[in-house]
Amino acid sequence: MDERTALRMLADALPAAGDDAAVVEDLVVTTDMLHETTDFPAGTTRYTAGWRAVGASLSDVAAMGVPAVAAVAAYAAPRFDEGELVDFVRGAQDVAERVDAAYVGGDLDHHEEFTVATTAIGRRGDHDPVLRSGATPGDVVCVTGSLGRSAAGLRAFEAGDPDRGNDLFRFTPRVGAGERLAAHATAMMDSSDGLARSLHQLAEASECGFAVDADRVPLTEELTSTVDAAEAWDLGVYFGEDFELVCTLPERAVDDATAALSDCEVSLTRVGRVVDAESGVTVDDDPLPDRGYTHGSE
């Protein structure tokens, strides 16, 4: 059973699961496990690992459109080096502070492979949590920021430029943007599985389709400046591991949402429209494959 099938099975067994975070009373809760071989390329500092691991869970809170309250992490390594632990904690604290959440520690465990499990908690603010399931044909679909930052980071690590790789691997979770979008969005999730897969997941949850305009998809300059256009598209749309928000909202709300996001210095780009489920997920009228970075098949 691959990871997607297993996740779907779990979503069926657990009514609160299946979105970016589970909703319990007025809280949202999300947990993630990352480890060295799949998530932290050689050269990733512990500071970046702490930032990125805690940031990934905070991104799931952002995708629910609610304020983040707190995050914890369980840190497992073959041995505990004081400098590494301090760096990890600093990274975790810094990313949490960036979104006004508290990093409040966690657990330590001995493990052959460096492994981090993070949990973040958010709490309903002015708006109900935004689920994946509310997109309606006629809505527009938008993306915050730009795509491909993590792919560019991975390329930098591979090219022997860990400073640049570490910079690109640290991102600001879109918590502020998510809260502002919650006033308008009909459905939302983060882009951690890649834009293509995110759209397919939104399509499945909302029983709709999407028509994307390729030219409108915002690929990060960090990527387009280093690889050709076809590769930039592939990495930006399929690779994932970015932590932008993908959301749908009524046409009439786009200007207000864009203005609200500019307050927190996040851009919002309209990349296409919500269409009927029968039309599927397309880009410039061709099918957009439901393909991405499935951990289970790596």
Contacts to its own copies by CB under 8 A? 1-3, 5-7, 9-11, 13-14, 16-18, 22, 24-25, 27, 29-35, 38, 69-70, 72-74, 76, 79-82, 85-86, 89, 93, 102-113, 115, 117, 119, 121, 295-296, 298
Q: Which two tokens stand for residue 11?
A: 């979503």
Smallest distance from its own copies to CB 280, Å: 27
Q: How far is CA 157 from CA 55, 87, 95, 133, in A?
A: 19, 19, 21, 37
Between 82 and 278, name the residue whose CB sits nearer to its own copies. Answer: 82
φ/ψ of 18, rounded to 5, equals: 95, -5
Smallest distance from its own copies to CB 40, Å: 13
User: Would the annotation count 244 as a binding residue?
Assistant: no
Q: Which two tokens stand for residue 7?
A: 């996740």
User: Would the annotation count 190 as a binding residue?
Assistant: yes
Between 45 and 119, name the residue whose CB sits nearer to its own copies. Answer: 119
Neighbour tally for 26: CB within 10 Å: 12
How many whole angstroms separate alpha carbon 190 and alpha carbon 48?
A: 20
User: Would the annotation count 192 as a binding residue?
Assistant: yes
Beta bridge partners of 77: 110
User: Would the annotation count 100 as a binding residue?
Assistant: no
Smallest distance from its own copies to CB 257, Å: 29
Q: Do 76 and 114 contact (CB within 8 A), yes or no?
A: yes
Between 107 and 263, name the residue whose CB sits nearer to its own copies. Answer: 107
Classify residue 82 as exposed, middle or buried by CB count within 10 Å of its CB (0-12, 13-18, 19+). Answer: exposed
Between 13 and 229, name the residue whose CB sits nearer to its own copies. Answer: 13
Strand locations in 93-222, DSSP E? 102-110, 115-123, 140-144, 187-190, 209-212
Smallest distance from its own copies to CB 270, Å: 31
Smallest distance from its own copies to CB 175, Å: 16
CA 239 remoteness from chain centre: 12
Between 113 and 126, name the residue whose CB sits nearer to its own copies. Answer: 113
| b/e sequence 59-70, b meaning 16+ C-beta within 10 Å | bbbbbbbbbbbb
Residue showing tokens 């489920």:
277
Between 130 and 275, name the residue whose CB sits nearer to its own copies. Answer: 130
Smallest distance from its own copies to CB 207, Å: 22
**Residues comprising the binding site for Mg(2+)?**
20, 30-32, 60, 107, 190, 193
**Residues comprising the binding site?**
20, 30-32, 39, 60, 106-107, 132, 190, 192-193, 241, 293
**Residues comprising the binding site for ATP?**
106-107, 132, 192
